Chain A
Amino acid sequence: MTPLSHIRNFSIVAHIDHGKSTLADRLIQSTNTVADRDMKEQMLDSMDIERERGITIKAQTVRINYVAKNGEEYVLNLIDTPGHVDFAYEVSRSMRAVEGSLLVVDSTQGVEAQTLANVYHAIEADHDIVPVLNKIDLPAADCDRVAEQIEDVIGIDASDAIRVSAKTGIGIAETLEAIVQKLPAPKGERDAPLKAMLVDSWYDSYLGVIVLVRIMDGVLKKGDRIRMLSNGTVHHVDRIGVFRPQMTVIDELGPGELGFLTASIKQVRDTRVGDTITHEKKGTDVALPGFKPAQPVVFCGLFPVDSAEFEDLRDAIEKLALNDASFSFEMETSAALGFGFRCGFLGLLHLEVIRDRIEREYDIDLITTAPSVIYDIHMRDGSVMQLHNPADMPDLTLVDHLEEPRIKATILVPDDFLGDVLKLCQDRRGIQQDLTYAGSRAMVVYDLPLNEVVFDFYDRLKSVTKGYASFDYQMIGYRQDALVKMSILVNDEPVDALSTMVHRDRAETRGRAMVEKLKDLIPRHMFKIPIQAAIGGKVIARETLSAMRKDVTAKCYGGDATRKRKLLDKQKAGKKKMRQFGKVDIPQEAFISALKMDG
């Protein structure tokens, strides 16, 4: 066991693409933690989707043995946290598991919104912070300006920021030395009752659930019986180890150490991030502060395109849920789409990741309905119900008022695009809270309704700022507003999966935009199709998709029979990507595309 004085636990804080993963790779490589031949890019991102998108969803750790300039050997535990706003709670727990952070800022770009959000997590966790200016090999690098910006915007001393190129290896040695010299050693009592934080967990088909832990006090050994404080469940520890970054079994984990345990746990649901783990007997009853169960904030329906695949979808969702405690689901029946599931997610990225995994890993084509937030419906009788699905909106005569979740959004943007960003926020019912400048970049803070953001806000923001804006948000609570349910009727039949909650003042604009979009998305049929948006019984927008006028093959002789037949078979397969509503075929992508707003 390593003495506390020779342990350093740290995380890396960075905006996406600022080189966090490359820096982590370089630290691992330069300490010979992994042989060069086994090195692959983004060592720590294990899932395909994570690797492809350059995002991290699960916290990962790696133990690095480092001989410092003073000749002594240190154990450095790096924890790689999910960087995305959807996983803010997981980030905050990971931050509590370490004592310091490297703040990585791209020296060609400067501080971004995500840098800010994550550095605040680090500051909240009382971290000592070492600033690192990355990508100094690039001609556009401007270290002095970026260091100044770090001081201005974040308020930490960046005068001795380490100048690094993770790509070429410049500054890596200095970074390792700074971790030892500038970050504090962890504290903890070896003889106290076991107190460990559950940092993250995931399912492994061979080992069961793997639990990532940080030992605060006491010692954890193989064979121990442990208890989860949140639910009192007891497990028998069958394996203890550390990541280097591959799993390496060791005998025990002592105070200040980060590692993993397995205990024949079947479901990730039984292991909650932030929970306190202690011994079954002679354990502690004092939980670590800050634990809270995961709360989905965005909901949508997932339906199989081919209704025969419902059971396959159930199977896929159940399997994914085993490995993701923050993802909730229940069966849903839609008049339009048949059987499916109403699923809850931490945010849009989380939604997309789960949806992609179902389509990719389980090969099921999905219809995803409009994402919705949770509305509080205050009924006339004084009760409050939570609305996850616009289709479940109760009779208006019973409703007193609705409240919707709001967020505080922080956007950093070059001032050239500021006007567009302000307009976008204004269009989305935003209330400006703050507007400050750091050099030629503006930082805007808006109070926005979450329902205006969950759908395509981030896409729009990227588009109006040519990708230069960065964005982050946090939930700030519920507020009353004039919200109504808007229905869409296709060929005079309501399509429940297209129902949305909208603000009364914007209903007509949204309704008009949706029916116009649907007119383009639905292919022409042999008859004309009215497409309407309505609130209650009142139609607020209408378009008519005219009947197809000509669809006939000019030439078809003996040599064409095979080709035309195969073409028909192909069309038939293509139709499986459509859903039939009454006599109208609606393509699956219409359910999402119809909601995207161009302005």
Chain B
Amino acid sequence: MPDDWQNGGFGLYIHWPFCAAKCPYCDFNSHVSAHIDQAAWKAAYLKELARVAALTPGRVLGSVFFGGGTPSLMDPDTVAEIIHAVRGYWATANDLEITLEANPGSVEAGRFAAYRAGGVTRISMGIQALNDTDLRRLGRLHNTREALAAFEIARKEFDRVSFDLIYARQDQTLTAWRDELTQALSLAVDHLSLYQLTIEQGTAFGDRYSAGKLRGLPDEDLGADMFALTQDICGANGMPAYEVSNHARDGAWSKHNVMYWRYGDYLGIGPGAHGRITLNGRRFATECPRAPGQWLRMVDNGGAELAPQALSKSDQASEFLLMGLRMRDGIDMTRYAALSGKPLAQDALQDLIGLGMLRQEKSHLVVTDQGFVVLNAVIAKLLEA
């Protein structure tokens, strides 16, 4: 019997932990550093790559994702050498997707051609807002004009370009978001990640929020209205959601992210990177140390990985469900039952179907429009028993 991960595919995630500045909403593993020894980092990534490649011989790689931090601060040369090494270690799919996250500043845009030459096939840009006041509030270093210019350059260099917007921002009205989203859709973009601003603990926004100093955030009702509006406008413009926050034209889905949501296997290297990897029929959760200095030292000493955790049946089933139901095309319940060792609880399932949150077609389970906006509650209910 093939391993479960083959239903989701196999990908590689590379984490670059540095940013030019820390954004107040961001809880990713990012650090601001005055001096980065690019050569040392390149050597370390290549060494880690060799370590994880040895664990997964014979696999076919479907995607590579350079995330961060701000990977567009990497030397194009570093990116190119990593890609070159990757192609040497694994057979790759014909449509291998290699995405790099980029800041839409003018400096970064100047490197896009070099990234493309090095093998990057897709750019995902953190534009976040098309409004200079809000960009400043979000702590972004670029302005709208620079972002649009960077987008034009990316468009010329790459067949596939995506960008992120954050909405449900402080003092944002429904009308303002409608206008901004409409402007975004008017650009020649084929993929958009549209995230509602989430206040995370341990961020600058989190601290301000706890102190009662982050005002003007939308309430639950406005948040729900904005989500619904987003679905409507994007759908009407040929960019329906294929996942909770991700919208694309036909065929423009992010292969790498879909691999996560379909619960494939992925290697994660770089500070704080996580992985899921099936070895000898057992799925493990892997994690790398978060601090850049510690990561470098551990690479030197043979491998920057914390002790892998074997995932129990119920852990895997939970992860499959909570990732998979994020996709508009739903999940295969027989896969859930195989992972879990038992099918989904019928009473919870029937309740949720009765409430109009889920739709079942034979062994396929799909979240309805109504269910999507309360997906956390739907998943919690399914996993309650």
Contacts and interface: CB of A to CB of B under 8 A. Distances in A.
Interface of A: 525-527, 548-559, 561-562, 564-565, 568-569, 571-572, 575, 583
A566 to B, nearest CB: 9
Given A558-B266, A558-B275, A559-B272, A549 B319 contact: no
A555 B266 contact: no
B223 A550 contact: yes
Contacts of B196: 554
Contact of B376 (A552, A565, A572): A552
B323 A556 contact: yes
Contacts of B375: 551-553
B244 A552 contact: yes
28 contacts: A526-B352, A526-B357, A526-B378, A548-B220, A548-B377, A550-B223, A550-B373, A550-B374, A552-B244, A552-B372, A556-B322, A557-B260, A558-B260, A558-B268, A558-B274, A559-B13, A559-B268, A561-B274, A561-B319, A561-B322, A561-B323, A565-B318, A565-B322, A568-B318, A568-B379, A568-B383, A575-B384, A583-B351
Contacts of A571: 380
Interface in B243-282: 244-245, 257, 260-261, 266, 268, 272-276
A527 to B, nearest CB: 6
A568 B317 CA distance: 12
A165 B83 CA distance: 82
**A548, A559, A572 interface centre (most CB from chain B within 10 Å):** A559
Contacts of A568: 318, 322, 379-380, 383
B198 A554 contact: yes
Given A526-B377, A558-B13, A561-B276, A549 B322 contact: no
B285 interface: yes
B176 to A, nearest CB: 19
B158 interface: no
Contacts of B380: 568, 571-572
B18 interface: no
Secondary structure of the A side of the interface? loop
Interface residues of B, number: 46
A553 B244 contact: yes
Contacts of B116: none
B195 interface: yes
Contacts of A527: 355
Contacts of B318: 565, 568-569
Contacts of B244: 552-554, 556
A549 B220 contact: yes
Contacts of B274: 558-559, 561-562
B315 A557 contact: no
B290 to A, nearest CB: 11
Contact of B276 (A553, A558, A583): A558
**B195, B272, B318 interface centre (most CB from chain A within 10 Å):** B318
A583 B375 CA distance: 18
A562 B245 CA distance: 20
A555 to B, nearest CB: 6
A583 to B, nearest CB: 7
A565 B227 CA distance: 24
Contacts, number: 96
A307 to B, nearest CB: 15
A565 to B, nearest CB: 5
B95 interface: no
A548 B355 CA distance: 13
B37 interface: no
Interface string B315-357: 1001100110010000000000000000000000001100101
A557 B372 contact: no
Closest 5 CB pairs of A and B: A549-B224, A550-B224, A554-B195, A559-B274, A552-B375
B221 interface: yes
A527 B351 CA distance: 11
Contact of B322 (A555, A558, A564, A583): A564
Contacts of B319: 561, 564-565
Given A526-B357, A555-B198, 20 more contacts: A526-B352, A548-B374, A549-B220, A549-B224, A556-B244, A556-B261, A556-B322, A556-B326, A557-B260, A558-B266, A558-B268, A561-B260, A561-B319, A561-B323, A562-B274, A562-B287, A568-B318, A568-B322, A568-B383, A583-B351
Contact of A572 (B352, B377, B384): B384
Nearest to B275: A558
A180 to B, nearest CB: 61
Contacts of A583: 351
Contacts of B273: 559
A587 to B, nearest CB: 15
Nearest to A523: B377
A2 to B, nearest CB: 65
A544 to B, nearest CB: 15
**A526, A556, A561 interface centre (most CB from chain B within 10 Å):** A561
A526 to B, nearest CB: 6
A555 B355 contact: no
A51 B315 CA distance: 45
Contacts of B195: 554-555
Nearest to A561: B319
Interface in B99-114: none
Contacts of B372: 552
Contacts of B378: 526
A555 B355 CA distance: 25
Contacts of B261: 556
A551 B372 CA distance: 9
A568 B351 CA distance: 19
Contacts of A555: 195, 198, 245
A551 B376 CA distance: 6
**A552, A559, A572 interface centre (most CB from chain B within 10 Å):** A552
A551 B276 contact: no
Contacts of A525: 377
A549 B13 contact: no
A554 B194 CA distance: 8
Contacts of B266: 558
Contacts of A551: 373-377
A551 B244 CA distance: 11
A562 B318 CA distance: 10
Interface string B198-229: 10000000000000000000001101100100
Nearest to B274: A559
Nearest to A571: B380
B368 to A, nearest CB: 12
Contacts of A562: 274, 285, 287
Contacts of A554: 195-198, 244-245
A564 to B, nearest CB: 5
B308 to A, nearest CB: 12
A550 B227 contact: yes
Interface string B53-64: 000000000000
Contacts of B357: 526
Contacts of B197: 554
Nearest to B377: A551
A554 B273 CA distance: 20
Contacts of B285: 561-562
A556 to B, nearest CB: 6
Contacts of B352: 526
Contacts of B257: 557
Contacts of A558: 13, 260, 266, 268, 274-276
Contacts of B224: 549-550
Nearest to A552: B375
A489 B28 CA distance: 46
Nearest to B267: A558
Interface string B232-248: 00000000000011000
